[in-house]
């Protein structure tokens, strides 16, 4: 997977991608992250990338020319997706992350300041994506969130041990609680079932915990899971949990 990021702040992307698991993914060649700066494509001697809005109003608007030319300079794969980061887009989630992980290339277009000239969206035929209902100062952090999440869903990115298959949301439920040594700390104890070595009991407890945690924290996810669940074992456990709650 190649991530190409159009940004006025390439250091934000390159710095963040030089640590931990993302850096390992780059080193191993599973992912590639490139940055393209529209400021390098300006024709203006002051390297201007924004201007005042037609019709008046506060703030500046990112201009077409540097963005069009920067976008054109990127080699596009036939199987590429172009994403413009904006709080007005469809909201990113695990399902979209898994869908995008199947692509060969994703081009992210990050904005800053007040916004883009609308024609940048039209020209790049970009899909508009938001990472949540709040406004950030630019698209770099959203692009990084998406790169991180999408990468985790790419075959070979995570080791087998931390496979994305076991993630929260991978089957629409949150995760069960985890514990490590010692058995007791400051009077707080590890649940007995985890200490016994009965793997069937442990698996059952963990599945029930997933239902309980999801029910308590995210009733929307729980209701959705319950509606679509057709696994007999899960249905039995779900009913047990609902009686206990
Ligand atoms: N740019 C500013 N806020 C954003 C958000 N919530 N998602 C994506 N891009 C953004």
Residue closest via CA to ligand 1's atom 4 equals: 87
H/E element, 106: strand 105-109
Q: Which residues are catalytic?
A: 87, 114, 152, 167
> Which domains are present in the chain?
2-151 (3.40.1280.10), 184-244 (1.10.1270.20)
Given this model, what pLDDT does residue 159 score? 82
Predicted confidence band of residue 112 (pLDDT cuts 50, 70, 90): confident
pLDDT at 166 over 70: no
Our CA dihedral for 77, 5, 1, 82, rounded to 10 degrees, sits at -50
| Structure-model confidence comparison of residues 9 and 114, the more confident one | 9
Q: Are 77 and 105 in contact (CB under 8 A)?
A: yes
Q: Which of 103, 153, 151, 161 is nearest to 127 (CA)?
A: 103
Q: Identify which of 121, 131, 143 to mutate to test ligand 1's pocket (most ligand atoms within 8 A of the CB).
A: 131
Given this model, what pLDDT does residue 114 score? 77
**Alpha helices, DSSP H, located in 131-189:** 140-152
Ligand 1 near 91 CB (within 6 A): no
Q: Are 205 and 194 in contact (CB under 8 A)?
A: yes
For range 93-122, the mean pLDDT: 94
Ligand 1 near 134 CB (within 6 A): yes
Whole-model pTM: value is: 0.93
Q: Measure 136 CA to ligand 1 centroid, in angstroms.
A: 5
Given this model, what pLDDT does residue 29 score? 97
For range 102-125, the mean pLDDT: 94
Ligand 1 near 196 CB (within 6 A): no
pLDDT at 162 over 70: no
**Alpha helices, DSSP H, located in the chain:** 10-16, 20-27, 64-72, 94-100, 118-124, 140-152, 199-217, 219-228, 232-244
Which residues, other chains included, contact 177 with Cβ-Cβ below 8 Å and sequence gap of 6+? Answer: 209, 213
Given this model, what pLDDT does residue 134 score? 96
Predicted confidence (pLDDT) per residue in 27-69, tens digit:
999 999 999 999 999 999 999 999 999 999 999 999 999 999 9
Q: Identify which of 138, 139, 140, 143 to mutate to test ligand 1's pocket (most ligand atoms within 8 A of the CB).
A: 139
Q: Identify which of 83, 87, 137 to mutate to test ligand 1's pocket (most ligand atoms within 8 A of the CB).
A: 87
Ligand 1 near 58 CB (within 6 A): no
Predicted confidence (pLDDT) per residue in 67-102, tens digit:
999 999 999 999 999 999 999 999 999 999 999 999
Given this model, what pLDDT does residue 168 score? 67
Report how far apart, in Å, the C-alpha atoms of 139 and of each of 30, 45, 109 are.
Answer: 24, 26, 7
Given this model, what pLDDT does residue 169 score? 73
Among 7-21, 99-113, 126-140, 153-167, whose mean pLDDT is lowest? 153-167
Ligand 1 near 142 CB (within 6 A): yes
Given this model, what pLDDT does residue 176 score? 96
pLDDT at 230 over 80: yes
What is the rounded average pLDDT for all residues in the chain?
Answer: 95
Given this model, what pLDDT does residue 28 score? 96
């Amino acid at each position: 997977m190649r991530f190409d990021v159009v940004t006025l702040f390439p250091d934000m992307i390159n710095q963040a991608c030089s640590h931990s698991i993302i850096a390992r993914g780059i080193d191993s060649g599973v992912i590639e992250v490139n940055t393209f700066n529209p400021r390098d494509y300006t024709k203006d001697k002051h390297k201007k990338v924004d201007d005042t809005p037609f019709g008046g109003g506060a703030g500046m608007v990112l201009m077409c020319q540097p963005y069009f030319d920067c976008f054109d300079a990127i080699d596009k794969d036939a199987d590429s997706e172009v994403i413009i980061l904006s709080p007005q887009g469809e909201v990113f989630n695990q399902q979209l992350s898994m869908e995008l992980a199947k692509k060969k290339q994703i081009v992210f277009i990050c904005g800053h300041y007040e916004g883009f000239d609308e024609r940048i969206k039209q020209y790049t035929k970009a899909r508009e994506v938001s990472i949540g209902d709040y406004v950030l100062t630019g698209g770099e952090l959203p692009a990084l969130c998406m790169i991180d999440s999408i990468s985790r869903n790419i075959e070979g990115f995570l080791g087998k041990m931390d496979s994305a298959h076991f993630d929260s949301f991978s089957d629409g439920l949150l995760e069960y609680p985890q514990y490590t040594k010692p058995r007791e700390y400051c009077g707080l104890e590890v649940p007995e079932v985890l200490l016994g070595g009965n793997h069937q009991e442990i698996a059952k407890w963990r599945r029930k915990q997933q239902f309980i945690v999801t029910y308590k924290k995210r009733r929307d996810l729980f209701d959705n899971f319950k509606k679509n669940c057709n696994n007999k074992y899960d249905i039995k456990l779900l009913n047990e949990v609902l009686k206990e709650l």
